[in-house]
Structure 1
C-alpha cells in the first residue's frame, strides 16, 4: 500500500495527456477520459481514506530517494479526506454536459478536459505533498490551469483571469519567499524535518517572517478577506462548471495548505508568538463573513451573488483555523466539505438555467420552480444548507463553529456566525420568492423545460450529498475530523 499516495495522482495526470489525444480524434472522447480518470481517483481516494483512518499514515518516496533529499508524498486522514472531496466534485463537473459546463460546444483540439484534469492534478498534489517546494509546484500547476479555464468565459473573463494571474503570482511569490527563509534557516524543505528543527529556532526573526509571508501568500490563494479581490470577477465571468470547480475545491487548496503548514510545520505553539496569525485569521475571517454576505445581498446577477457568498463561506473556514481549538478545526474542516457540495450544486444549477433560458438576472427567474422542479429542488436544498437549516450539512459545521466561539468566550464571533445565517437567508429568500412563488414573467421561462438528465443527475447527487453529510455528520466527525483536529493540535 506504500504506492497508494502516488497512485492517487496518476489517473488525473495521465488522463490529462490522454484527453488531449482523445479530443483530437473525437471531442466526446475527451470527456469520457475525464470521467474515467476522476471516477478512478474517487474510488482510490475512498479506499485511501478507509485505509489511513484504520491503519495510519502512508508515505511514498518519489524515485526511491528518501527525505530530506527526495520528495515525499504523505497520505494521512486529512489529505485523504481532501483528495476524496476534490475527486467527487471533479467527477460531478466532468459528467456535466460540455455546453452547459464550459459555455462552449465540444470541438477537436479544444483542451477543456485536459485543463480540468490538470487543475485537479494540481489540487491533489497540494494535498499529498510532504515537501514545501513541491507543494509550490502543484500550487502553480493548478493556478496556470485555472487562468486558462476562467478565460473561456469571454472578454470580461479574460480580464478577470489576467487580474487573477497578477494577484496569484504575488501570492505564489510571497509563499516562495517564506519557504526560502525556512530553507536558509533549516537547510531542508521536507515538512517533517522542518517541523523537527523549528522548536530550537523559535526566537529567529527569519522563522517568524517566513510564517507571515507564507500565511499571506496562502490567504491570497484561498481568497480570504480582504485578499479576495480576484474572486468575484473570476467566479462570475467564468463558465458555470469552472466556477463550480473554483468555489468548491480550488480555493480550498489554499485553506488546506494553510492548515497543514501552520499546524504540522510551525505547530500551534507559534500562534500569537511574534506574528499574531491566529488573531488575524480569526478576525479577517469574521470580517469576510459579514462583508461577503452584505455584498451578496446587493447583487442582481445570480453567479455574482454566489461568488460573494463564497467570500463569506471562506470566512467561516478562516475563523475556524484562527481559533485553533479542536471544535473550531472540526467546524472548519466540515465546512470545507459542506461548502463544496452546496456551492458546486448551486453553480451547476445556474448552468442548467443558462442552458435552458440564457438568464442570469435574479429578477427574471420568476416561475422557474414550476418549469424546472427537479433542479430547483436541488437548488433549494443547497440554499437551505447555506443558510444553516437542519438537518442539512451547513447547519452542523456552523453549529461546531458557534460551539467553538462559545467555548473560548468569544461572544462577538458567535453573534457574527449566527447573524450571518440571517444575512444568507435574505438573499436566498429573495430567490425563493421569485422561483417558487411568483408566476412566470418572461416568455423564455414560460417555455422552459427541465434541463437534460445529466444536469438533473449531477445536481441530484450533490443535493443528496448535502442531506447525507448532514445526517451522517457525527460519523464523519468521530471517525475522521476529530482525530485529525486533535492530531494537528498535538
Structure 2
C-alpha cells in the first residue's frame, strides 16, 4: 500500500524530480517538473502528518534491515511538523519561480537550477525524517552542496563569493557534526539516534560524550547561523537569485534548528544539557546578542535583501531563546516562531524578488515609492512585516507571547522585558522600509514599474494571509508545536 511507503516517498519523489529536471534540459519543462513535485510533496507530507496524529510514531526500516544494522526513518509529531513545513513552503513558492528564475539565472543553467533545488529539498526532508545520525550528515551535505550551486548560479558575480563563503562555513559545520557523531558511535556502538539516546545514559558524563555534544552543537550552530557564526548568511541571502533566498530563508535554517533541538532535547536530554552543563546562560547570551546585534545592523543596511537577511539572524535568536528556556512553554514558543518565521520571510523575500524583477534594483534608492506602482505586492509584504514585528492578530505575536510567558514562568522578568524591547528594533527597520516604499516619490525604473503577475502575487498573498490566519487560529501552529515540544522533551528512549 502507498500509505506504508510515505516515508520513503518523502525523499524519493524530489530526487527523481531532480533527475528528470536535469534530463529535460529546457527551462519550461524543468519548471513543470518542479511544479508537479512541489505540489505532490505537501500531499505526501500531509498524509504522513495525519498518520502520525492517528497512529503515533511511525517507523520505516529501509530494505527491511533491523534498525541496529540498517537505516531507519522515524516520524513523530516534531519532525512530521517540519516535513509539512518544508513541503508546504515548496508547494506555495513554486509558481513564483517561473519568471524569477528566468530573469536571474542564465537560460542554459535554468534546468540545472531546478535540479539543484529539488535535490536540496530532498536533502532537507531527509534530514528531518531520518533516525540515523550518519544518514543525517549525508542529507545535510546533499542539501548544502545543492544550496551552494543554487547561490552561485545567479548573474551577479558576487554570488560566487557568497557561495564560496557559505561552502567554507558549511563544510566546517558539517565536519564538526560528523566528528561528534563519530564520538557517539565510539561510545554507544550505534548510529541509530533512538539507540544512541538509550545507551548514552550510562556514559553521558564521560569526556568523549561531552566533546561529542560540543562538536554537534557548534557544527549545527554554524548551519543555523547562530550568533556569532552567521557570517555566511547575509551575503548568501543578498546575492543569491531571489528564489534561492526565499527557499533557504524559509527552510534550510529551520531544518537545522530542528536537528539541533532533536539532539539537545531528545538524545542528550534537557535535564543533562541544561541542568548539569552551563548551556543555558551561554545560549541565552548568544540568543540575546543575535536579537539585538543583528537587528541593530539591519537598521543601517541600504540593500533590502541584506537588511532582511540580518533580520533572519535576529529571528533565529528568538527561536534558540525558546530552546534555552528549556520548558514546554519556552520550547513551544521557539517552535511556533520557527514555523511563523518561515512563512513571514518567504513572503517578504518573494516580495523583494518581485520588485527586483520589475526594476532590477533592490536597494532603498531604487525601490523608493515602489508601493505606489505595485500596491498589491507591497500590501502583502506589509502584512508579513507586521507579523515580523509581532503585532497582535498576526502569527508573530503568538510566538513572542509564548516566549514572554515562558520567561515569566521561570522568573526571568528581565528576559521578558528584553523580548518586548527587541521588537522596537524591528519596528525601526520595518518602519524605515515602509516609509521608503510607500511615502517617497518613485523615480527612474520604479516610476514605470508594473504590478507583479498573478503567478508571483498569489504565493506572496497566500503566505501573508496565512500569518493572519495563524495569528487567530493557532490549532495547527501553537497546539501542534506544544505537542512537538512535549515529544522532544520526553526524549526518544
Q: TM-score, normalised by structure 1?
A: 0.96
Is residue 117 from structure 1 mapped to residue 96 from structure 2 by the alignment? no
| Distance in 1 separating the partners of 2:339 and 2:63 | 33
| Distance in 2 separating the partners of 1:256 and 1:410 | 25
Give the C-alpha shift of residue 439 in structure 1.
2.7
Give the C-alpha shift of residue 91 in structure 1.
2.2
Distance 1:423 1:109, change over 3 A: closer
How many correspondences in the alignment?
A: 486
| Distance in 2 separating the partners of 1:331 and 1:273 | 20
| Distance in 2 separating the partners of 1:475 and 1:186 | 37
Give the C-alpha shift of residue 3 in structure 1.
2.2
- Counterpart for residue 455 of structure 1: 456
| Distance in 1 separating the partners of 2:285 and 2:256 | 18
Is residue 468 from structure 1 mapped to residue 469 from structure 2 by the alignment? yes
- Counterpart for residue 71 of structure 2: 71
- Counterpart for residue 431 of structure 1: 433
- Counterpart for residue 91 of structure 2: 91
Q: How does 1:222-301 map to 2 (within 5 A)?
A: 222-272=224-274, 275-301=277-303
- Counterpart for residue 355 of structure 1: 357
| Distance in 2 separating the partners of 1:156 and 1:475 | 40
Structure 1 segments (4+ residues) deviating >3 Å: 105-110, 272-275
Residue pair 2:344, 2:388 contacting (<8 A) in 1 also? yes
| Distance in 1 separating the partners of 2:421 and 2:295 | 10
Q: How does 1:126-205 map to 2 (within 5 A)?
A: 126-153=127-154, 154-205=156-207
SS for the counterpart of 1:74 is: strand
- Counterpart for residue 410 of structure 1: 412
Give the C-alpha shift of residue 163 in structure 1.
1.2
| Distance in 1 separating the partners of 2:237 and 2:226 | 15
Aligned counterpart in structure 2 of residue 208 of structure 1, from 210, 215, 225:
210
Listed one character per residue, the Cα deviations across residues 274-308 of structure 1 (whole Å, up to 9, x for unaligned) are: 64233322221111001110010010110000110
SS for the counterpart of 1:389 is: coil
Which 10-residue stretch deviates more, 132-141 or 261-270? 261-270
Q: How much is the aligned-residue C-alpha RMSD, in angstroms?
A: 1.5
Aligned counterpart in structure 2 of residue 365 of structure 1, from 352, 364, 367:
367
Residue pair 1:286, 1:319 contacting (<8 A) in 2 also? yes
Give the C-alpha shift of residue 133 in structure 1.
0.4
| Distance in 1 separating the partners of 2:400 and 2:139 | 31
SS for the counterpart of 1:225 is: coil
Aligned counterpart in structure 1 of residue 319 of structure 2, from 309, 317, 320:
317
Give the C-alpha shift of residue 92 in structure 1.
2.9
Residue pair 1:98, 1:106 contacting (<8 A) in 2 also? no
| Distance in 1 separating the partners of 2:65 and 2:140 | 23
Give the C-alpha shift of residue 127 in structure 1.
0.3
Residue pair 1:367, 1:436 contacting (<8 A) in 2 also? yes
Residue pair 1:73, 1:129 contacting (<8 A) in 2 also? yes
Give the C-alpha shift of residue 383 in structure 1.
0.5
Residue pair 2:78, 2:485 contacting (<8 A) in 1 also? no
| Distance in 1 separating the partners of 2:412 and 2:353 | 40
Which 10-residue stretch deviates more, 469-478 or 215-224? 469-478
Listed one character per residue, the Cα deviations across residues 237-285 of structure 1 (whole Å, up to 9, x for unaligned) are: 1111111111111111210100111111111121245642333222211
Residue pair 1:317, 1:332 contacting (<8 A) in 2 also? yes
- Counterpart for residue 334 of structure 1: 336
- Counterpart for residue 80 of structure 1: 80
Unaligned runs of 5+ in 2: none
| Distance in 1 separating the partners of 2:66 and 2:53 | 24
